[in-house]
Chain A
Amino acid sequence: MTAAPQAKPNEADAIIVCENLSKRFRMGDETVNALQGVSLTIRRGEFVSIMGPSGSGKSTLMNLIGALDTPSDGSIAIGDTVLRQASQAQLAELRGRTIGFVFQQFHLLPRMTAAQNVAMPLIYRRDPVTDGEERARRCLERVQLANRMNHLPSEMSGGQQQRVAIARALVNDPLLLLADEPTGALDSRTGAEIITLFQDLNAAGLTVVLVTHDERVAHAGTRIIRMRDGKVESDTQNTDIWRPNPAA
């Protein structure tokens, strides 16, 4: 892992810069090209949807953007950090500092309260914080769950659990929120609420990357990247933004 200034001066607000990104896996005797020469840039404040059928490489791309994996070829810059080869420990630090993950299955720890779940990532910081409870409370307020601080996940609905997970993703003030099928385990009404929450957070300045195979959910973003066979098929600004806003 090498730290370098911004990759290109004319893209001062770029958060993710992928250049000619490739990822190969060995499956038995075969080599699978999960990603081939993907180049893209995600800028501060964008709401990017990454779409594609399964096997299109969108999950692999997401793992690379989320610093869960390193590319076989090409380079990816996350924030100020250009990533080529990095150890698990270095990747972990990058994940903790810059990326907030939201998963389809929420991944809350069942024996911890909402507040404890939200504060959990703080214990892995290299620079420990003392105001963990206060931070957790503020993040739960941002997802309108301040009144559920001391509830266990089992005492909350799916939508509430996902909002706790989003609060957890926010607790380290990440550069971007990376959501993998966040509405996949929710009914459409609750899913719509979560989409609205993402749009609100985005409106407040947070960069959001949403990975989905649901056409309608993808239209919540301001930009849609379609993947096919490990390549970017199309990368367009979305003019027809879906605003579920069920309250209205």
Chain B
Amino acid sequence: MRLIPSLQLAFASLKAHKMRSALTMLGIIIGVASVITMVSIGQGARDKIDSEIRAMGTNLMMIFPSGGRGPVRSADSATPLLDRDAEAIKKRISGVVAAAPVRFGSGQIVTSGKNWESQLYGTNNDYLIARNWVVADGRQFQPLEERSAAKVVLIGESVRKELFPNGGAIGSTIRVNRTPMQVIGVLASKGSGSGQQDEDNVLIVPLKTAQSRLMGSGDRIAGEVHAIFLKTSSQDIMASVQGQVEDLMRERKRTPESADSPVRIGNLTEMMALRTATTRTMTALLGAIASVALVVGGIGIMNIMLVSVTERTREIGLRMAVGARPEDIMSQFLTESALLSLVGGLIGVVLSLLLVVAISMTGAFDISLNLQIVAVSLFFAGLVGIVFGYYPARKAARLNPIEALRYD
């Protein structure tokens, strides 16, 4: 028997039991829709991390004093980092493209009746290199401004939007923590602000300006910074650079071999890779759970096909009596179960597309549809139909025509 009559036969038989076919398909529909939706959610999380990595800056390393945790200093903080350490790292370790000493703080901005709070970084132009950040409008700091603690500021896109919605930011004066500062540039948007923190709500001033004018009070050592941001020329040398930085800092802070390292080095790419791996595991897990639904759907198909074989025993006997070979009967039932699961799979794909659109509209998850997974799950739906249809089909094909004809 050839494909077209097989398909016609299968369609006719599924149409004859519409309710039953629909319910059987439901298992596959749910299976396929959940596989696609779950994997799309996992994929969305991964894509988000990718974009975060890109926004954060590639080949980025962050050095903190080991006593403190990031910008928060513990009471008996170990040897603080100094801006000179950044210079030394850049000079003495090859492969370091940028080394930016950074002070973190917050800036209260007041301008013509508006009040706005944003993150404040005191650093130098290297910070922009390390973070892959460009000045969209205006210019970077000039060496003289960095040395002389000039009252100049670069503002992030969110700050511009808030304070200068109609443009005209460059050259304006804003009061940051009561100090009047001149806006010399607007940073390009990082655009990754879909989470906890708005990266674009930022003010960047020269390090010296921050230390002497905005937040330097209470320092134990002049020139203290909270962190140093490093960018290496390539991903491959990051590990060796990390070792060299540690050695250099031991030397500069006069830390004995036996003592803990004076600095804590965060390798951002590594952290992100770890998170990526975690999400990948999550995606696999979600996919696996969803596949269970697909398998359960397959069991439903097997169940209904067994019922169908029993119900149609006499029909099978008749078909055999008029010349159907066992393989004809086999292919008839296999076609039926494969069709059942494929149609269910297609409906599942449509359903998952609707779900993905709906979820992305509510914004509950980052979701990105992967066409590959659509193809894969359709393929598996068809496979489920054939695998779970095989036993009932074989049962039908092995019927003895004499007994089948007499069956009632």
Stretch at the interface among B63-71, B269-277, B314-322: B314-322
Chain B interface residue count, CB cutoff 8 Å, equals: 23
A121 to B323 Cα, complex, angstroms: 7
CB-CB under 8 A from B320, the residues of chain A are: 88, 92, 95
Cβ 8 A contact of A107, one of B2, B9, B314? B314
Partner of B322, one of A88, A101, A111, A128: A101
The reply to whether A123 and B321 contact each other, CB–CB distance below 8 Å, is no
Q: What 1/0 mask marks residues of chain A from 106 to 127 whose CB sits below 8 Å from any chain B CB?
A: 0101010000000011011100
The count of A-to-B residue pairs whose CB atoms sit within 8 angstroms is: 62
B7 to chain A, nearest CB (A): 12
Q: A88-B326, A93-B325, A111-B12 are contacts. A124–B319 as well, Cβ < 8 Å?
A: yes
Contact of A95 among B16, B322, B327 (CB under 8 A): B322
Chain A contact residue count (CB 8 A cutoff): 25
Shortest Cβ distance from A112 into B: residue: B12
Distance, CA A109 to CA B321, complexed state (A): 14
List the B side residues contacting A69 at CB < 8 Å.
Answer: 402
A96 is an interface residue with CB less than 8 A from chain B: yes
Which of A93, A105, A111, A128 lies in contact with B323, CB distance below 8 A?
Answer: A93
Give the residue of B5, B12, B314, B402 whose beta carbon is less than 8 angstroms from that of A123.
Answer: B5
Tell me if A4 is interfacial: C-beta within 8 Å of chain B. Answer: no
A93: B residues at CB distance < 8 A = 323, 325
In angstroms, how far is the closest chain B Cβ from the Cβ of A202? 21
> B326 to chain A: which residues have CB within 8 Å?
88-89, 92
Q: In the complex the two chains form, is A121's CB within 8 Å of B322's CB?
A: yes
Given contact pairs A107-B405, A111-B12, A68 touches B323 in the complex (Cβ within 8 A): no
- B126 beta carbon closer than 8 Å to chain A: no
When distances are taken between beta carbons in the complex, the residues of chain A under 8 Å from B328 are: 92, 124
21 A-B pairs, CB-CB below 8 angstroms? A66-B321, A68-B402, A88-B320, A88-B326, A89-B327, A92-B323, A93-B325, A95-B320, A95-B321, A101-B321, A103-B318, A107-B314, A107-B318, A109-B315, A121-B323, A123-B1, A123-B9, A124-B1, A124-B322, A124-B323, A124-B325
A residues in contact (CB < 8 Å) with B = 63, 66, 68-69, 88-89, 92-93, 95-97, 101, 103, 105, 107, 109, 111, 120-121, 123-125, 128, 168, 172
Interface residues of B (CB under 8 A from A): 1-2, 5, 9, 12, 16, 314-315, 317-328, 401-402, 405
